[in-house]
Structure formats: C-alpha cells, structure tokens
Structure 1
Amino acid sequence: MSHKCSFLILFFLVNIGWQVYSSAQDADGRCVCTVVAPQQNLCSRDAKSRQLRQLWEKIQNMSQSIEVLNLRTQRDFQYIMKMESQIKGLRSKLRQMESNRRVLLTKNFQELKGKIDELQPLMPVLEQYKTDAKLISQFQEEIRQLSMVLMGIQEEMGAYDYEELQQRVISLEGRLRNCMSRLTCGKLMKITGPNTIKTSGTRFGAWMTDPQASTKNNKVWYMDSYTNNKIVREYKSMSDFIAGVESRTYSLPFHWAGTNHVVYNGSLYYNKYQSNIVVRYSFESGRVVTQRALESAGFHNVYPYTWGGFSDIDLMADELGLWAVYATNQNAGNIVISQLEPHTLQVLASWNTEYSKRNAGESFMICGTLYITNSHLTGAKVYYSYSTKTSTYEYTDIPIHNQYFHMSMLDYNARDRALYGWNNGHQVLFNVTLFHVIKSNDDS
C-alpha cells in the first residue's frame, strides 16, 4: 500500500549549526529528513561545548563533596539522635519524680537534674544537625535535577562522540534518499503569495531563471513587452536583478511574440513574431541553433490567452522536460499540449484538451500536468488541469492572488518550486504546495 507525504522546503537550524536541506513527511506525520552535521571542530572546540563540559565537571565535584559531607553528617546525626532519646527519657523520668517528690531522696533528685542540665545545651546543636541534614538532602536533589538538565543540553548540542554522530547522520541521510527515490511527481494543492521581487518595465513582459542550471548558477533573464522587442537582459543573481545591475544583454535575430518564453538548459526558447515557429537561442554561442514550426498552431492573436498580446504559443518546462501549449483549428481552438525534444524541437507527443485557449487566463506545467487559470484578472483561480500521464482532465478550485490585477505571464520553475509571474509591471514569485505519493516496493 502506498504512503502519502508532503515535500517540505529548505530550512536551516541556525542556532545549533545543523542544516536540514530536504525532508519528506507521510500522512501519519512521520518525517524522514536529511541533515548535515557541523564540522568536527565545531563539535570539539565550540565555546559553548567547552563551557558545558567545565560546568559538568564542577557539578560532578560538587556532588562528590556533598556525598562526603553527607556521610559525616549522617554519622554524627545518628549519635545525636541517641542523645535526643536519652534526654527525652530523662525529662519524662524527671516529671514523674517531681510529681512524687516524697518518695525521692534529695540527693538522687539533684543528681538526675544535674545530668539533664548537662545535656540541655545539646538541644540547639541537635536542631542544627536536623537543619543541616535537610539542607544536604535539598542539595542532593538540586544536583540530580541539574545533572539531568545538563545531559539534555548535551544531547541538544550534540556533545557525543563525533564519529558515532556522523554515522547516525549518514544512516538518516540514506533513509531519506531511499524515501525520495520513491516519490512520484507532485500534484498542485495550493498557491501562496505573491512575493513582489521588483517593479519595472511595461505592463507586459517575462522574467525567468534556468531550472536546469546548477544551484550555483542564479542568473535571471528579463524580456520586457510582448512584441517589437528582441533585447534580452541578463543578471548574475537575483540581488543584481533587484538592484538593476546587468551583466550582459543579447540582441535576438528575430522579434518575439507574446510573453511565454522559457530558458531551459542554457537556451532561450521563444515564439518568432508573426509565425508559429519556435526558436531555440543559445546564450553560450549567442546565436539561433534550432527553429521549427508547430504544425497547425494558431498564431498572431488567433488563439491567445484572455489578455491577448500574441500569447498564442506558450513555451514552458517542468520536471519532465520542455513543452509547448497552443491551440489548433483541428482541435476547435481548444488547448493542445506537445512535449518537445529540447535540441531538435521535434514534437515527441501531443494531447488534445477540451479547454478553450481563448478562455484561459494563463497556464503552466508541473510534473506533466497542465494547470489553467480561468482569468488573467483579479479573482482568478486554477480552474482546470490535464494530466499527460493519464490523458484525463479534472476541474479544480485553487485560488491565486492576482495582487496587481493583470497577469500576463505565469510559469513554473522546477528547481525553485515556484511560479514566476509578471503582474501588471511587477515581477512576482508564488510558492506552490505539491502533494506527493511514495511508491511502495510493489509499484511499477
């Protein structure tokens, strides 16, 4: 039987120097995660760990001293307790004698009273011993409690043998990788945000990062307007993009149409203006390396999204590869999904949906499923999805907050697990929540 889990995003446990860089959680709340332990010198030389060890040694010394003091006190206390019993017995006998003085000789009475007078000063000493014994008992309990707290702190700080700790981490990491290898592709459950990254450009445009790039490559590409432009601006990082510090510009040989471009594995894919031709432009070589027409695809505002802008052909990428979303006369203007070979741009497979391209606000692919919004305006939601795996569709109801009232670009980035949007001159990011299924060993 399959288990279900949610994929959690990257986070850091800064306070103790550990890093948890991915995790998976099943429906019962059980979590398996990958953690990176701090370097060995952090465990052995960290100031907090050293202070903890010094404090622990002091506690042990205090405990030993209290034990010695307790033994001595208990020995003296036993002796004093015997004296207390004797004093009480003498007092009782003296009261009897005083009540019957006629049968007592004066000499015997005075002798007995003298013994009591000799013992009388020991009474305060006895009380002090009782107090000291009680105080030592309290000390012992406090030491015990403190020792338990210190042991807990040691566990939290990882004050164990480093090699043993490292083996435990490796074991946990292996279990997570085994779990992640059995994760099926995710299904969209929720969209949150947006986070406004920048406000720039015209009302329409596109911006993106490369989902195939390494984690060290955080370049951003920026393409303003939906037509009459062929300048692509490149930024080395998101911070440079926000600051407006360009690293390079590219002048494309052909103008683009629409805002539905995508950067994938170092190349820009876009729709050539006034045509159904898809162009692949290599940033490395600075030239067009491939171009191919999408057979029967409408273009130049024949089948655009609801906002127009020559958005007939939408190029996108997800975990499974490169895609083109468009409409044809043969499919009555409804959306067609085609998977493209990234180098040759040949159509590998196509699926005909029953959703009108002109009624769609925007669309994006996640794990081979096309998600379509019902509007580009305020109040939009993801209304329809089509799975290329099962060739089936379903109606959905996933709200998306159109903060700036006009969405002219919306694309999923599999590396960032986020939606990039161009919202009325604002470059925004949406977070997505995906639902995963863990395949059992019996699943194919």
Structure 2
Amino acid sequence: MRRLVVLISVMCFASAQHHQALIDYLERRLLAIEDRISLWHEQAIRYASELRDLKQQMVSQLENLDKEKETLRVNLDSMGTRVDRVERELDYLETQNGAQPCVDVDDKLIEQQVTQVQEKQKTKYFKVTDCSDMISTIKAMKILKRVGGSKGMWTRDTGGGSGKVFIFNGTDKDTIFEFSTVQDFTRSQGLSESRQLKIPKTWTGTGHVVYNNHAYVITQADEAVTLVKYDLRNKSVADSVVFPVQDQVPVYNLSPETVMDLAVDEEGLWAIYATHQTEKHISLAKLDAISLTIEQTWDTNCPRENAEAAFVICGTLYVVYNTKQPGRSRVQCLFDINDTVSGDDAPLLYFPKRYGAHASLKYNPLERLLYAWDDGYQILYKLVMKKKLEV
C-alpha cells in the first residue's frame, strides 16, 4: 500500500513538471508574437509616414509641372505670334521679289511661242470689256464653314443673276446644294438645310461654274468630255455639247479628277484644259456661254506639273502650284491672251497658310473674290488689284 502511494506521488510530480514546461513554452511563444506585432506596428507607422512624405513631394512636383506647363504654353503662344509675323514678312518679301514664272523652255516651245505671237499680232482676241486689272496681292482669307468631303466646289452665281450659293460636294455626284445667300449657308447646320437640285448626269471633277442662272457642268464618259448647261430656274438641261478637243488629259497634275476646268471672268466663260499633244502645258479656250461653241484657243507656257488649280481674271490665266505633300499654294505662272502682262510684271503670289490643297478656285468678277475649297473648308480670298501695263 505504501508503494502505491509513493508511485502515485511520483506520477503527480512528473505531471506537474510537464504542465509547467508547457506553460513556459506557451509564454515564450506569446512573447515572441507580441514582439513581432510590435515590430510590424512600428514598420506600418514608418511606411505611413513615408507615404505621406511621398504624397507631399508628388503634390509639390505636380504644382511645379502645372507652372512649367503654363509657362511653356505662354512661350508657345508667343512663338506662334512671332512665326505668323515672320510668315507675313516673308509673304511681303516674296511678293516684292517675284520669281520668273515656271517655263519649260526648249527649241520646240520657243518656236511655238514665236508662232503664237505672230498669230496674235495678226488677229488679237476681241475684248468684250475694257477690263485691264491684274492681281497685286492676295490680301486676306476668311474661312466660312466646313461641309462635305475633302474635294468639291462652291460658288455664287458669277453672272449676278440670283446671288445664290451653290455647293458641288465631291468629284462624281449628281446633286447640287443651293442656299439663298452666303449668310444662310454660313448659319446652316449642314447640307441638309439646302435646296437640292438633281441633274441628269454625274459630274466629273471640280471644274464646274454657275453663270447667269445656269450651271455649267463637266461630265466624262468613254473618254469624251461633255459640257452640260443646266437651267437652274427651270431645272432642266438647256444644252450639252461634247468638247471638240481630242485626247484630253487631266488639266492639273495634282488634281487628276479634274479633266477640264471652267472659269468665269469679266469677259465671260472660259475652259482650261490639256491634251496629249500639249501634255506638258495647259491650254485655254474662250467659250460662247449661250451656244457653248469655242471662240478661240491658246496654248500657254504654264506647265501642268505640280499645278493644282487655276482661274481667269480680265483675260489673264492664273495657274496655282503646290507640292505633292501639300504646302504653300502659289500663283507661279500667268498667261495673258492680249500680251499686256509680261513675265517681269507677273509677281509670285502666295496664298495664306491653309489646311491642305485647293480642290477648286472660282473667281467672282462682281465681288473680286476667290471661292476656294480646301480639304472640306469653304474659304474666301480677298484680292487686291492693279492695272496691267497696256501695250
């Protein structure tokens, strides 16, 4: 019995020691966990402080960037103003120091020009008016609107019939858009507010004009170029003729859609064209606006290469040139049917900077304005005139 008591006592003592060791181990683990939690807490506080410092630095840097951005904007505005001023000065110098018109001179051309001069001395073109003006400078431009596609033509009735505005959108359409006035066109929300006139045939290019309540439209089929005279009041075709010139090619190298370009000036209706026989140079014809017959033709010395558009003022052809990558358009070649303007009298005229390249240029002799279509923008150019040197 006494042995049993001793055994039980020994077992109880051993169990008490085991429990004490377990408790000591747990206490040590808890202390280690508390130390780690304390360390994590200190690190979290430090990270939060660093984040606050970083945020303050970023806010300060953003404020500095905003200040630098405003300074850069002011400098760019100032630079833009200076560039515009320099460009205007260059335009002035270019008009004061005009270059010679582009002329591809060879023996055949010289012989041709001599023959033309001799023929003109025998029979000169009979002038309808006493107009003797030529362009001195292109003073300013006004962008009225942007409607339609990149290529097209717009104009007013150049004969003074109605004063309405007509829009030819695109190079192969059959619907003319009509507005009562320039103001109505400017205030409109687009072509949907216009009066629409559908013509029987699809036009070609941008060489059309409106003259004395008639639209003169160029069409092409099977290499035959047809001039259609459309009565805008009666909404019917008044006349149409095949242009009696064979083997026509696009008149402007940079505007291949325009196979022929019509123009109106103080003298009436003109046709600007080119053929395989005169492929390097542009030709000019005076048309009878009533019968559409050709009254007289001229082969000019103005190259087709790099030409983008042309117009006629007082019997003088002005050809506008550019580059394949659109830049500054310039009048670089003049041809006067009455020989009253020589190469020395022909200034190199630059147009104000624009968006791209002219798809069409139409002169209005009543307003002395050019109606231009430039990458979908409808633009007016104001012209300053001077007198030709009569010979």
TM-score in same-fold range (> 0.5): yes
4+ long deviations beyond 4 Å: none
- Whole-angstrom CA distance in 2 between matches of 1:309 and 1:329: 14
CA contact (8 A) 1:226 1:309 kept: no
The equivalent of 2:60 in structure 1 is: none
Q: How high is the sequence identity, in percent, across the aligned residues?
A: 26
Mapping 1:134-213, distance limit 5 Å: 184-213=131-160
CA distance in 2, matches of 1:297, 1:242: 41
Structure 1 position 406, deviation (Å):
1.8
Paired with 1:297 and 1:266, the residues of 2 have a C-alpha distance of 29
> 5+ residue gaps in structure 1?
1-181
Q: In 2 relative to 1, CA 246–185 (structure 1 residues): closer, same or farther, beyond 3 Å? A: farther
Q: Is the 8 A contact 1:269 1:281 kept in 2?
A: yes
Q: Please say if residues 134 and 385 of structure 2, whose CA atoms lie closer than 8 Å, have aligned partners that are also in contact.
A: yes
Matches within 5 A, 1:77-116: none
Kindly indicate whether the alpha-carbon contact (under 8 Å) linking 2:265 and 2:312 is maintained by their aligned counterparts in 1. yes
Aligned equivalent of 2:47: none
The Cα shift of 1:383 comes to: 0.3
Which residue of the other structure, out of 264, 274, 280, is the alignment partner of 1:327? 274
Structure 1 residue 432 and structure 2 residue 376: aligned? no
Which residue matches 1:269? 216
Number of the residue aligned with 1:235: 179
Partner of 2:10: none
1:414 aligns with 2:365: yes
Q: Distance in 2 between matches of 1:305 and 1:197?
A: 26
**Residue 140 of structure 1: aligned partner:** none
User: Which region of structure 1 is more displaced relative to structure 2, 429-438 or 377-386?
Assistant: 429-438
Asked if the contact 1:297/1:327 (under 8 Å) is kept, the reply is: no
Q: Judge conservation of contact 1:402–1:423 (CA < 8 Å) in 2.
A: no
- Counterpart residue number, 1:378: 327
SS in 1 for 2:308: coil
Write the mapping of 1:51-90 to structure 2, written as runs, cut at 5 A. Answer: none
Q: Secondary structure at the match of 1:253?
A: coil
Q: Does 1:220 align with 2:165?
A: yes
1:304 touches 1:310 (CA, 8 Å); kept in 2?
A: no
Does structure 1 residue 340 correspond to structure 2 residue 340?
Answer: no
Code of the residue aligned with 1:223 in structure 2: it is F
Letter in 2 for 1:258: G
Q: Which amino acid in the other structure matches residue 221 of structure 1?
A: F
Equivalent residues of 1:278, 1:293 under 8 A apart: yes
Alignment of 1:282-431 (within 5 A): 282-296=231-245, 298-299=247-248, 302-375=249-322, 377-390=326-339, 394=343, 396-431=347-382
TM-fit CA distance, 1:402 = 4.0
Note the C-alpha offset of 1:340: 0.4
SS for the counterpart of 1:422 is: strand
Once the two structures are superposed, residues 265-321 of structure 1 have per-residue CA deviations (whole angstroms, 9 ceiling, x without a partner) of: 11001111333111111101211111112222555xx32423334212000100001
Q: Supply the distance in 1 between the matched residues of 2:143 and 2:271 (Cα, whole angstroms).
A: 27
Q: Which amino acid is 1:397 matched to?
A: L
- Contact conserved, 2:145 with 2:377, CA < 8 A, in 1? yes
Task: Return 5+ residue gaps in structure 2 as ranges.
Answer: 1-128
Amino acid corresponding to residue 362 of structure 1 in structure 2:
A
* Separation of aligned partners in 2, 1:246 and 1:311: 28
Aligned-partner residue type, residue 284 of structure 1? R
> What's the CA shift for 1:382?
0.5
Letter in 2 for 1:226: T
For 1:419 and 1:398, the matched residues in 2 are separated by 14
State the AA in 2 paired with 1:220. V
Query: What root-mean-square deviation, in Å, do the aligned CA atoms of Structure 1 and Structure 2 show?
Result: 2.3
**SS state of the match for residue 363, structure 2?**
strand
Deviation per CA, 1:208-261: give whole Å up to 9, x if none. 0012125xx33100010111x100011001111112274521111111111111
Change beyond 3 A, Cα 1:326–1:247: same
The Cα shift of 1:184 comes to 4.2
- Distance in 1 separating the partners of 2:255 and 2:263: 18
Question: Partner amino acid for 2:383?
Answer: V
- SS, match of residue 241 in structure 1: helix
- TM-score of the two chains, using structure 2 as the length reference: 0.61
Q: Distance in 1 between matches of 2:140 and 2:225?
A: 34
Number of equivalenced pairs:
254
Which residue number in structure 2 is paired with residue 163 of structure 1? none
The amino acid of 1:378's aligned partner reads G
Instruction: Rate the CA distance shift 1:259–1:332 in 2: closer, same or farther, 3 A.
Output: closer
CA displacement at 1:373 relative to structure 2: 1.2
C-alpha change, 1:298 and 1:409, in structure 2 (3 Å) is: farther
Change (3 A) 1:225 1:437: closer
Hey, what's the Cα distance between the residues in 2 that align with 1:375 and 1:306? Answer: 10
CA distance in 2, matches of 1:309, 1:353: 19
- TM-score normalized by the length of structure 1: 0.54
**3-state DSSP class of the match of 2:184?**
helix
Greater relative CO, 1 or 2 (CA 8 Å, sep 6+): 2
**SS, match of residue 343 in structure 1:** coil
Structure 1's 329 and 392: CA in aligned 2 closer, same or farther, altered over 3 A?
farther
Deviates more, 1:184-193 or 1:389-398: 389-398
